[in-house]
Each structure stands twice: as C-alpha cells, then as structure tokens.
Amino acid sequence: MAARGCQRSGVLGSSESGLLTPPVGGAPRAVAAAVMYPPPLPPSPHRDFISVTLSLGESYDNSKGWRRRSCWRKWKQLSRLQRNVLLLLGAFLIICGLLSYMNTADHWKALNDRSSEKQKLRADVSGLKPAHPPVLPAPQTAGAAQGSPETPAQLERQMCQCLLSSVTGAWLAEAPDGEWASGFWSKVAVVGVLTQGLKEQNPLGQEAEMPRKHFRRGPPSLQIRAPDKGGKDWIRDGTEEARGHQEGRLQRTVISWRGAMIEPEQGTEAPSRRADSPSKHPAPEAKTQQASAPLNKRQKAVVDAFLHAWKGYRKYAWGHDELRPVSRSFVEWFGLGLTLVDALDTMWILGLTKEFEEARKWVSQKLQFQKDVDVNLFESTIRILGGLLSTYHLTGDSLFLEKAKDFGNRLLPAFRTPSKIPFSYVNIGTGSAHPPRWTSDSTVAEVTSIQLEFRELSRLTGDMHFQDAVQEVTQRVHSLSGKKDGLVPMFINTHSGHFTHLGVYTLGARADSYYEYLLKQWIQGGKKEPQLLEDYVEAIEGVKRHLLRHSEPSKLTFIGELAHGRFSAKMDHLVCFLPGTLALGAHHGLPAEHMDLAKTLMETCYQMNRQMQTGLSPEIAHFNVVAQDGHQDVEVKPADRHNLLRPETVESLFYLHRCTGDSKYQDWGWEILQSFNTYTRVPTGGYSSINNVQDPKRPEPRDKMESFFLGETLKYLYLLFSDDTNLLSLDTYVFNTEAHPLPIWTST
C-alpha cells in the first residue's frame, strides 16, 4: 500500500512539473498530457426563459372567452374531491335561492291581497255595526275634546300626515337596508288605501255634530235584548240594504255577512254559508238600562287600583308590552302594546273615558302588525284579537274590527301544517310559522282555546277561513284516541295530528282552557252544537272519576294530576278557573251537581289564598291527603311559591256570585284585592308579581306586571263587586279565557 502510494505520487509530480516547466525537446509529451487531462470549462452563464404562445388571429384581450378557457383550466387542475365539494355547495345555494324567492313571492302576494281586502273592507264597513250598541258614548277626537274646532281640510291633512309618518317611520326603524325601497312604496300604497277608506267611510265636513255630554265614571249602560217578533230584510244582488224608515228615527243600515245580520239594535246570529238566501230576522225589543247605579266603595277601590297600574304603564312602558314597575322600565314580548290592547275593554267598562281615548289614539296611529316578529298563536289570539273584538262590540268603533281582521289574517299561516293542527308560533310579518324550539308539538290548550275569537271574527267579516281553520282543529281533537273518559293529554303533534306524551292528564297548564272552551263554544253558538256539550260533560265526569280528591285535615276538595296511572296531589292555581266554568254551565242548564262541585272547589281556591301569610295564592299548591299533626291542607314548595297576579280565583268568584247571589264571594274577593294592594303595589305606579307568598316581610317583587292583571284580574273584581247582574249579563255575553266579552249568537 505504501509503495503504491509513492509510485502514484511520483507520477503526479512528474506530470505537474512537465506542465509547469516543460523541458527542451519534451513538447510532444506536454501535448499528450494536455489531451489526456483537458482544463475545466468555465461555468455557463445563467439564462431566464420566457414562454410565448403565438396563435394566428388571436390575442389576449381579457374577453369572456379567454376567461372561460382560463377558468376551465383551473377547474381541471382541481382534484375530484374539490370539484364535488364545489358542485354540492353550488347546488345548495341554488336551492336556498329558490326557497327564498318562493317565500318572498308568497309574502308580497299576501301583502297585495291584504291591501285589496283592506280596501274592500273599508268600502263596506261603513254600514257595519256591532252586535250590541256601545255601552258608553263613542270617543271624541282630540280636537273636539279640547274644544278647538278644526276645518275638514285640516283634519284630513292631519290624518294623512299621521298615517304617513307612523307607517314610514316604523318601517325606517325596522326594515333592513336591502328591503327599504320596496317596503317603503308598499307602505305608501297602504297609506293611500287607508286615507281613501277614511274619506269613503266618513267624508270630512259632513259629520253631524253630536251634543256634548258629561261622563262620570261608573258602570256602563248596556243594551239588553230580547227576541222580537217582526222585522224584514231585503237582498239585492247579493248585498242587503236597509230601506225602511221608522218614525222619529234615522234610516238604519243593515249588512249581511253571509247570513250574519248585524244591526244597531239587533241580536247576534250564527254565521251561515248561505249568503244569497234571504232570511227574516226578528227585530229585537231593546230594553235599555236607563241610569247606572253609583259606584260602591269596592268598585271605586278597583278603579283606583287600575289607575295606579295605568299610571306606571303610561309613564314607563307606554306602547310596550308589559311594565317593569320596580325598575321603571318595560319588557317586550311581541312588541304590540300588549298591556294597552288587553286593557281596552276594561277601561271602557270602568268608565275611564279619558284613558280609553288616549289608548284608542295609540291603536289608531301606532299599532302596526306589519313587522318581522314571532308571536305565540294562543297568547296573541286571546289577548290581542280577543281584546280588539271585545272593544269593537262594546264601543261600535270599526277601527277595532279592522285591526282585528288584519291581525287574524296574519295568524292564519300557523294552520298550514300537514295535520291542520296549528304551529305554536307564527311570524306576522313574513307569514312563516314554526313549533317551539324545544319540541315539534303544540299544547292541546293552545290549539283548542282560540275558537271563540276566530269564530266571532268569521261571523263579523263573513270570511269563513277563520272559522274553518279552528273548526277543523275541534273536529280533529274530538275524534282522536288517547283520551281517558274525556280527559286529554297535554301535547299534540302538528305533523301527525295525534296526541303525544300519552298517559298524563291535568287541568293545569297546557290543558286547562280546552275544557273551558268546550262549554263556552256551545254557549257562544246558541247551544246548537251538541258535540261540544257532550265532550264537556264527559270530561267533567272524567275529572270526578280520576282527578278529584279530598285533603286533610279540612277535607278540601281539590283537582290533582294523573301520570301513567299514578295520582299526584298537585294543583296549579290555573285550575281555579274550573269552579267558575262549572257555575256557568249550571247557569245555562247543566246538572245541579255541577254547581255543587263548583262551590266546594271555590272554597278550596279561596283557602289556597287564605292559608298563605300574604293572603295570595302560590302558583302551585300541594295537598296533604294523609292526616299529619302540625300540617295544613295546603303546602307549597320553594320553587312554586310565587304569585303572578293571576285572575283565576277572582274569575270564579265572579261567576259564583252572579249565579248564586251569595255576598261571601264578594267578601273573599275584597280580601284578595287588599292583599294585592298590600304586597304587590309599587308606589311609583304599577303592581308587581312576587316571589314568596309565604313571607309578608319580604315578598320579593319580581319586577313585572303581566298584561292580564289589567285585562282580567281587575275587570273580574270590578264585575264581582257590582250588584247589577245586567252588567255584561251571562245570558248576553261569553267571556274568552282572557276575560274579553264576546256576544252570544242568537237564533235566526
């Protein structure tokens, strides 16, 4: 290895020396070495290449064709997975766009239909009169009330300006940017319809002057009617007009809404589909209460309570849904002035003319239903629709009927389900409806406690869509299986139309007013629908068989609950509607044992209040069914001891007093009113629900005044303390579940 290394070294050395200093005569050897070992070449210079594509007759000009070819190359460069994802995304967007287009088209079609219906209604409604004449004089305009006459032109300008400003202002505040233009012009069109309708309905400058009267606060004078034996109607070209004169009277206009004849002094009649068949109606003999009795001490106390509650609402929550009296603010639910609308007929009944006129002005100028908001079908029907219909009947003011029809039309999309069982929620602006977020079911009480209002709306307007929608629900529930001796489960599926959560039966929340409306529909319709009566009587027998028990030690009769065969001694305060409903049924001819049961249950509901330290009932009570030392009949769990200012106890007290004349029910109601004043009254205005009915020192206000406190609780207390049985007579009116009186239909 070493020798070979030396040898290699020597050769290299000789070659190198020959190259550096070639010897003389050694040129051939140097040339040979150069050939064998050429010198390294220098590195080639770095070059950049530009690719140029030449085509005959074509050049890049950013044309669509060029971009299409470029996009196609990029598309081909994508993987198959990427292309599939993009295709699916594109298909999804196309489907969403189509659905959005269909929804928008239906929405604007509905708006156009409503505009045309409004115009038709205003053309016809000038002759429409309520089923019963006003119980107080119609409200005056603001100008008349202040004694400052205005010219017809000024009045017309003011009405147009108010309508335009309120409609456009509300739209600008609520509409998204993209919807402003189309929405604005549709609102302007509606304003045109409204102003034109006002001109046709009452041409300004031609209004007859009415003598001014001094109004005092007192129970209203109601028109009590009895069937008469004469009277004629005429029909010409499908429209009926009054043609006769009576001595000393102006000519009266009669309008037929598909067989429902409405006249200033005429009884109400059930709706009929035979619009063109002439019918003769007995002209009733009016028996008018000439003078209202002066308010007694207790009625005055109710009026003072209402004014105190109204003071807080007017100051801190005007135009909003409900008052927060402690924080002096408000809470919104639907954004429709819920408390104001719910209290309209209460103000009228209590004789609060000034407050009513102010509220009416707000309804006329500010109550707009074209807004993107979800409303609960049941709650909005009984409070808003019921309140508007009731106020129309009491006042004769067509404004409230127009608002009621508009609102009723916006609720109808809730019935667009496979089973015709309505969804719980509907958007009154877009017309979309949906179930609650937590279930696909509706509650039985919700879908079966809107019938009185929709049926009455059909009778007044002649549009049978309202009655047909709720009638289908009634028929469906009537024929369903899953009942237990007339008792129904709490839930019903909107897709299948069948009961769900079978085996649970209660007269409390989610089922209570189903039983109430069975009886009241039968009464409303003139007692001509035996199916309703049969279902009601069967249900009461089921209550007595499965839910009725007696407590210890006082043997109070109470209504419990049944869950899969197991009885629970739990009774909601809501169940205290039942004594009043039983008494109402007995008043209209049902068995006497119904009245007996009503009296015993009324005692129980009173004790649910009396056994609490504040004198106010808890939301839920539990009854002892086994005698135990040191225990009362009624016990309350910490989570159930709140009071929401509910009306059910005083509602039943009103019915029991009307049907029996026993003054003890008035005394019990007076105790409850005093408890409200002691523990729920807020000094700055309003009343607040409380958290603890068992602690009179710290009742813990919940800072909310429910709308039904003005719409129901105080109204029933006022009627309870009146000794005038003709004040909203039970033979003339039927109260909906929110205490709004609607007329009982008379025979044709």
Q: What residue spans of 412-529 are helical by DSSP H?
A: 444-448, 451-461, 465-479, 512-524
CB of 458 closer than 8 Å to CB of 407: no
DSSP string of 452-465, one letter each residue: HHHHHHHHHH--TH
Can you list the domains of the chain with their CATH numbers?
A: 110-141+151-201 (no CATH), 297-330+547-748 (1.50.10.10), 369-538 (1.50.10.10)
Q: Are 344 and 367 in contact (CB under 8 A)?
A: no
Helix or strand holding residue 223 (H, E)? strand 223-230
Half-sphere exposure of 74 (CA within 13 A, CB side): 6
Predicted model pTM: 0.67
Query: What does the CA dihedral 324, 330, 332, 333 come to, rounded to 10 degrees?
Result: 20
pLDDT of residue 44: 63
> Quick check: 177 pLDDT over 70?
no
**174 noted as active-site residue:** no
Tens-digit pLDDT profile for residues 258-293: 233 333 333 466 665 533 333 333 333 333 333 467
The pLDDT of 560-573, averaged and rounded, is 97
> Do 310 and 343 contact (CB within 8 A), yes or no?
yes
CA–CA gap between residue 734 and residue 724 (Å, rounded): 17
Tell me how far apart the alpha carbons of residues 655 and 577 are, in angstroms, rounded to a whole number: 10
Asked whether the predicted pLDDT for residue 31 surpasses 50, the reply is: no
Look at residue 535 and tell me whether its pLDDT is greater than 70: yes
- Sign of the C-alpha dihedral computed for residues 197, 203, 205 and 210 taken in this order: negative
Nearest Cα neighbor of 451 from 471, 433, 465 is 471
The answer to whether the beta carbons of residues 443 and 491 sit under 8 Å apart is: yes
Q: What pLDDT band is residue 678 in, cutting at 50, 70 and 90?
A: very high
**Which residues belong to the annotated binding site for Ca(2+)?**
737
Spatial contact of 33 and 12, defined as CB atoms under 8 Å apart: no
Residue 653 has pLDDT above 70, yes or no: yes
User: How many beta carbons lie within 10 A of that of residue 121, not counting itself?
Assistant: 20
pLDDT at 72: 77
Q: Which of 261-265, 377-381, 676-680 has the weakest average pLDDT?
A: 261-265
Closest by Cα among 396, 406, 385, 464 to 127: 396
Give the Cα separation of 522 and 66 in Å (integer).
77
- Do residues 394 and 345 make contact, with C-beta atoms less than 8 angstroms apart? yes
**Cα distances (angstroms) measured from residue 305 to each of 537, 579, 681, 715, 720:** 38, 26, 9, 11, 15
User: How many other CB atoms are there within 10 angstroms of residue 694's CB atom?
Assistant: 14
Residue in 628, 536, 619 with CA at minimum distance from that of residue 571: 619
Please identify which of the residues 619, 703, 706, 712 carries the catalytic annotation.
619
- The pair of structure tokens assigned to 470 is 């709720």
- Residues 195-240: tens digit of each pLDDT: 344 344 443 333 333 333 333 333 333 333 333 333 333 333 333 3
The pLDDT value given to residue 523: 98
Please tell me the distance from the alpha carbon of residue 124 to that of residue 239, in angstroms, as a whole number: 10
DSSP 335: S
Q: What is the rounded average pLDDT of the residues 590-602?
A: 98
In the predicted model, is pLDDT for residue 169 greater than 90?
A: no
Residues at the binding site are 737
Give 611's strand partners.
none
Question: Which of 392, 400, 360, 395 lies closest to 141 in space, CA to CA?
Answer: 360
Whether pLDDT at 64 is above 80: no
Report pLDDT for 77. Answer: 80
Kindly give, in sequence order, each residue whose CB lies less than 8 Å from that of residue 315, ignoring residues fewer than 6 positions away: 328, 685
Share of the chain above pLDDT 70, in %: 65
Catalytic site includes residue 648 = yes
Sequence-separated (6 or more) residues with CB below 8 Å from residue 684: 312, 325, 328
Residues 139 and 397: their CA atoms lie apart, in Å, by: 9
Active-site annotation holder among 321, 441, 648, 651: 648
Catalytic entry in 269, 379, 441, 572: 379
* pLDDT per residue as tens digits for the range 471-507: 999 999 999 999 999 999 999 999 999 999 999 999 9
Distance CA 748, CA 745 (A): 9
456 is catalytic: no
Q: Which two tokens stand for residue 732?
A: 């003339």
330 pLDDT exceeds 50?
yes
The pLDDT mean for the chain works out to 78
Least confident residue range of 178-182, 387-391, 638-642: 178-182
Catalytic site residue from 233, 512, 529, 633 = 512
pLDDT band, very low/low/confident/very high, at 78 (cuts 50, 70, 90):
confident
Higher pLDDT pick, 87 / 75: 87
Query: How much is the pLDDT for 65?
Result: 58
